[in-house]
Each structure stands twice: as structure tokens, then as C-alpha cells.
């Protein structure tokens, strides 16, 4: 059992809680947690708030050390953590991105209704499960040579689309248009390449999933229409990341930076916050390798999208465009990015770390594709496999307060081992079927680790970001069928 955190929390309002910089020596700024009163007692149960305070000690941090309502204990940064550092004098930290670089979410729309899909649901799930590799160490159906892998790392989803795995307009609806600038394959180790080259087009394991959902509630009809969403519509949500390649990149650069900190006279309160100046060789190397991993993840989700479309074409005997199978959006939630933000009235170029947090840019932002520039960025928030997901939109207040960031999901309240222990002997697939959700999983162990009660209530998490004004609910989608690794 984790030790409860006993540090000071000052209630700012019903949705914001401050950890004052006076709490701990070395804090350069305050910490801020977005949460309800009910959530705060649960958040105090582990040391995640201490991690917020530790992040506030990073050299060059600007604004506050932030945590979203899905906060829980992570490596270095808490999951749900957001922090921005200056270009000059600031640092970049692999712990602020995480091991699954560009773990993210994609939503594919259809023009099908629940009534049209229900009779085919079992067949769809079986074919999707057969056609999209999942599970620990799963390998994709395609093998990529090292030169091809380098193109994937440089050009991300764009390269995969150019190879015929997608529609030309797909890239318009992907964060960074599916390829982050600054990627340099030379910064990626041979071991990381080896771990990644056979895993493109695979879901992986753990909390990764592919889910068929139905739009059940519409909160803002004008925005739903702008997003191409309607009540009763079936959509597909894909949640996966950069697989072994991203994990190895994080491992490699944590070791590099732990050695480099003394050279730069950097001291941090937790060695898991190993970092290096953004403009140092180590800092630049990590960013280049991280961008390669992010591009790999977008390529991964692109291949999965292609196979999802193929399965639907097979079952419904229509083309994917005729079925309306266009990408709504694709967001990263483990990433560091160079962005321009206003801090205390001054525009600054910042390295924004989002670790278990989603970009939530408001209407008018030039980083958004023309399709969403007038309405704001779609924000994709998956829940657990029993409760469904939300689609939100970014706000102007998020731009001012959180560097255009919001929550990324429900957030765990139970470790995987505890969830496994508590669910021993239960038929999780059977329980979900009784609730109207069909499940296909590579192993029963994964289902036990991912039981719905292992997560916070995603509705409560989303309610906090809505009430705090950092994103607004557009629709809620209920799960019909889930594929787990």
C-alpha cells in the first residue's frame, strides 16, 4: 500500500488545488491540481502530489507544475502531469513524456448506426481481432526494413499513407499532420530500431485497445455537427503508442541524462526526473529520438486504421469512403513539443511536456487544420472498457492556464497487480457481456488487470475539466465491443 501524501493543498476553488512553492526547498513555482473535492482524498492516497512538487523544481520551468484530474503515480512526472520549460535555461526530461512515447488516441468515424452494426458485431470483432495483432510483444503483419523504418521515423503517418495505407486527407486530421518536425533517426539506437521494426501495425498490451462505440449523448449539437458526429452513430477508437521503440528510446536517454546532469550542474529531487538542457547535445538528441518515436506511433495507428477499414469493407460490402470511415482526429498524450504560448503577457517558445495529458487547442489556433480552426481541436478521452468515452473541444482558457492541455483518460486508481488480485476467479468478459459490451482479449490476465473498477470514473474526470473551463464536452460514446491486447 502506497504511503498517503500529507503535504499542503490550498483550495483555490471547487476545481483547482494549489501546492504552494513554499512547501519544498527547490520549488521554482507552485503546483496546481485540477480535481473535485471528492477526488482529492483519492489523489492524496499516493505520492503523485509529491511528484508535482518535484516537477516544480525543474530548471527553467515557467507557469505552474500542473496535474489533470486523471493524475496518478508515474515515473518522474505523475501521469496527468503538464510542465513547460524555457528554450534557454530550460530542460527536457524523458520522465515528462514517459516510456510509451506518443501513446495516443484516434477516432475513426462511420456513417453506420448501432442498429446497422449490432447484427454484425461478433463478426466485426472476430475479424478485427484476427487482423490487428495485439498482446505483449505482438508483431505487425508487415515487416519493415531498417531503411523503411527510418522513413517511418522521419515521416510518420505521411509515409504510411504514401505507401497506400490510407486516404490522402487522413493527415489533415492528425496532430502534427502525423509527422513531428525535428525527427532524426540517427539519434535512435540500434536496439530501439530492432525492438520497433516488426511491431508496426500492432496494438500491444496493457491499457491499449480498439473499441467500437456508439454516440449516445450530444452535449453541444453545433460542435458535434462540425465534427461530423450524430446520435446513434458508430465510431471506432484506437488507443496505442510507439511500442518497443519508444520504450527503448526513453530507457536509453534516461541513462544518458542521469550521467549528464552533473556536467550541467543540474540537481533534481528525484533521479527519475533526469534531464538535460533543451539546447544541449543530450537534450537535442532526446528530442530528435522522441520525435522519431512519436512518428512511429502515428504510423502505427495509421496501419491499424487501414486494417479497420478493410474489415468494415469486408463485412458491409461497401468501400470505406462509402461507409464514411474518415478520421475525426488523432491526439498524442505522452509527448514533449515546442510550442509558442503567452506567459505573463509575453510570448515565449516553450518545451511543453504532456505526460498522460492531451493537447486541447482553442478555435483560431494556427496549429489546427482548417477543418477545426473555426471550432477548436477535438479532444479524445477514453474511459475504461465498461463505461465509454468522451469527445471534447479545446478552449481559450486552456491556452491561458494549461498551455492548451487537458486530461487524457480516466486514470488508474488500482495497480495492475491489485486489480489482478481483486478479480481472481471472475469472468470479466461475461460480466461485460451482461452490460452489453463484447470483449476479445489476447489473455484473461489482461482483462483482470483492466477491470473497470481499476479506473476512476471518466465522467467525473471530464466533469472537472468542463467545470474548470479547460475543455468542453461535445459527445459521450458508449462501448459496444472492445479488443484488448
What DSSP assignment string belongs to 206-219? TT-EEEEEEEEEES
Close Cβ partners of 357 (under 8 Å, ≥ 6 residues apart): 66, 68, 80, 81, 82, 333, 405, 406, 407, 408
Instruction: Give me the phi and psi of 385, to 5 degrees please.
Output: -70, -5
Residue 385 to residue 451: CA distance in whole angstroms: 8
Structural Rg of the chain based on CA atoms: 21
H-helix or E-strand spanning residue 312: helix 281-316
Q: What is the pLDDT of residue 484?
A: 86
Q: Check if the beta carbon of residue 177 is closer than 8 Å to that of residue 332.
A: no
Close Cβ partners of 9 (under 8 Å, ≥ 6 residues apart): 17, 18, 19, 33, 40, 44, 49
H-helix or E-strand spanning residue 114: helix 114-117
- Bridge-partner residues for 33, per DSSP? 17, 67
Residue 186 to residue 21: CA distance in whole angstroms: 40
Place of cell 478485427: 128
Nearest alpha carbon to residue 355 among 12, 32, 55, 28: 55
Residue 84 to residue 48: CA distance in whole angstroms: 18
Nearest alpha carbon to residue 335 among 316, 349, 352: 352
408 part of the active site: yes
Q: What is the pLDDT of residue 135?
A: 62
> How buried is residue 228: exposed, middle or buried, by Cβ count under 10 Å (0-12/13-18/19+)?
middle
Q: pLDDT 10s per residue in the chain (485 long)?
A: 578 999 999 999 999 999 999 999 999 999 999 999 999 999 999 999 999 999 999 999 999 999 999 999 999 999 999 999 999 999 999 999 999 999 999 999 999 999 999 999 999 999 999 999 776 677 777 778 889 999 999 999 999 999 999 999 999 999 999 999 999 999 999 999 999 988 998 898 878 999 999 999 999 999 999 999 999 999 999 999 999 999 999 999 999 999 999 999 999 999 999 999 999 999 999 999 999 999 999 999 999 999 999 999 999 999 999 999 999 999 999 999 999 999 989 999 999 999 999 999 999 999 999 999 999 999 999 988 778 999 999 999 999 999 999 999 987 778 888 888 888 889 888 888 888 888 988 778 888 888 888 787 899 999 999 999 999 999 999 999 999 87
Q: Record the cell numbers describing residue 264, joined without a space.
A: 550541467
Residue 190 to residue 143: CA distance in whole angstroms: 16
pTM value? 0.96
**Residue-range domain boundaries for the chain:** 10-484
Task: Please tell me the CATH code under which domain 10-484 is placed.
Answer: 3.90.1860.10
CB atoms under 10 Å from CB of 248, counted, come to 24
Is residue 79 left, alpha or beta, with left meaning phi > 0 and alpha meaning psi from -120 to 50? beta
Q: What is the pLDDT of residue 54?
A: 98
Q: Check if the beta carbon of residue 290 is closer than 8 Å to that of residue 331.
A: no
Instruction: Give me the phi and psi of 68, to 5 degrees please.
Output: -85, 165
Q: What is the pLDDT of residue 1?
A: 55
Nearest alpha carbon to residue 183 among 334, 284, 301: 284
Q: Record the cell numbers describing residue 82, joined without a space.
A: 503538464
* Sign of the dihedral defined by the CA atoms of residues 417, 421, 424, 427, in that order: negative
**Kindly report the CA angle at 323 between 224 and 161, in degrees rounded to 5?**
90
User: Which of 247, 306, 333, 408 does the annotation list as catalytic?
Assistant: 408
Residue 58 to residue 341: CA distance in whole angstroms: 19
Amino acid at each position: 500500500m502506497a504511503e498517503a501524501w500529507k503535504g499542503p493543498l490550498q483550495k483555490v476553488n471547487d476545481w483547482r488545488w494549489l501546492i504552494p512553492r513554499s512547501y519544498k526547498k527547490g520549488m521554482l513555482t507552485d503546483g496546481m491540481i485540477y480535481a473535485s473535492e471528492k477526488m482529492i482524498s483519492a489523489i492524496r492516497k499516493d505520492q503523485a502530489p509529491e511528484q508535482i512538487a518535484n516537477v516544480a523544481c525543474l530548471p527553467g520551468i515557467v507557469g505552474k507544475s500542473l496535474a489533470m484530474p486523471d493524475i496518478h503515480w508515474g515515473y518522474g512526472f505523475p501521469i496527468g502531469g503538464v510542465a513547460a520549460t524555457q528554450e534557454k535555461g530550460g530542460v527536457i526530461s524523458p520522465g515528462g513524456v514517459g516510456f510509451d512515447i506518443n501513446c495516443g488516441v484516434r477516432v475513426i468515424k462511420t456513417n453506420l448506426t448501432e442498429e446497422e452494426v449490432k447484427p454484425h458485431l461478433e463478426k466485426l470483432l472476430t475479424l478485427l481481432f484476427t487482423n490487428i495483432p495485439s498482446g505483449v510483444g505482438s508483431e505487425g503483419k508487415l515487416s519493415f526494413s531498417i531503411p523503411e523504418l527510418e522513413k517511418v521515423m522521419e515521416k510518420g503517418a505521411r509515409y504510411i499513407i504514401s505507401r497506400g495505407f490510407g486516404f490522402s486527407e487522413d493527415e489533415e486530421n492528425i496532430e502534427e499532420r502525423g509527422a513531428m518536425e525535428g525527427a532524426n533517426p540517427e539519434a535512435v539506437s540500434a536496439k530501439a530500431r530492432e525492438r520497433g521494426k516488426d511491431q508496426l501495425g500492432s496494438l500491444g498490451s496493457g491499457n491499449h485497445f480498439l473499441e467500437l462505440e456508439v454516440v449516445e449523448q450530444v452535449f453541444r449539437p453545433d460542435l458535434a455537427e462540425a465534427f461530423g458526429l450524430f446520435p446513434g452513430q458508430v465510431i471506432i477508437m484506437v488507443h496505442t503508442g510507439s511500442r518497443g521503440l519508444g520504450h527503448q528510446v526513453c530507457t536509453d536517454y534516461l541513462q544518458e541524462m542521469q550521467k549528464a546532469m552533473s556536467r550541467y550542474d543540474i540537481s533534481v529531487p528525484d533521479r527519475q526526473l533526469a534531464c538535460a538542457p533543451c539546447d544541449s547535445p543530450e537534450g537535442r538528441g532526446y528530442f530528435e529520438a522522441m520525435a522519431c518515436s512519436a512518428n512511429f506511433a502515428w504510423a502505427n495507428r495509421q496501419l491499424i486504421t487501414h486494417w479497420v477499414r478493410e474489415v468494415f469493407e469486408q463485412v458491409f460490402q461497401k468501400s470505406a469512403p462509402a461507409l464514411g470511415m474518415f478520421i475525426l482526429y488523432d491526439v498524442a498524450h505522452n509527448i514533449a513539443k515546442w510550442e509558442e504560448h503567452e506567459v505573463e503577457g509575453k510570448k515565449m517558445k516553450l518545451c511543453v511536456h504532456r505526460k498522460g495529458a492531451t493537447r486541447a487547442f482553442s478555435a483560431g489556433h494556427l496549429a489546427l487544420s482548417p477543418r477545426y480552426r473555426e471550432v477548436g481541436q477535438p479532444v479524445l478521452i477514453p474511459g475504461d472498457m465498461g463505461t465509454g468515452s468522451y469527445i471534447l473541444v479545446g478552449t481559450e482558457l486552456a491556452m491561458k492556464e494549461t498551455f492548451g492541455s487537458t486530461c487524457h483518460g480516466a486514470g488508474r486508481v488500482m495497480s495492475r497487480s491489485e486489480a489482478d488480485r481483486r478479480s481472481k476467479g471472475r469472468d470479466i468478459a461475461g460480466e461485460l457481456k451482461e452490460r452489453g459490451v463484447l470483449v476479445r482479449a489476447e489473455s484473461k490476465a489482461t482483462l483482470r488487470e483492466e477491470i473497470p473498477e481499476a479506473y476512476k470514473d471518466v465522467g467525473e474526470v471530464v466533469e472537472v475539466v468542463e467545470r474548470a473551463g479547460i475543455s468542453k464536452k461535445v459527445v459521450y460514446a458508449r462501448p459496444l465491443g472492445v479488443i484488448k491486447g
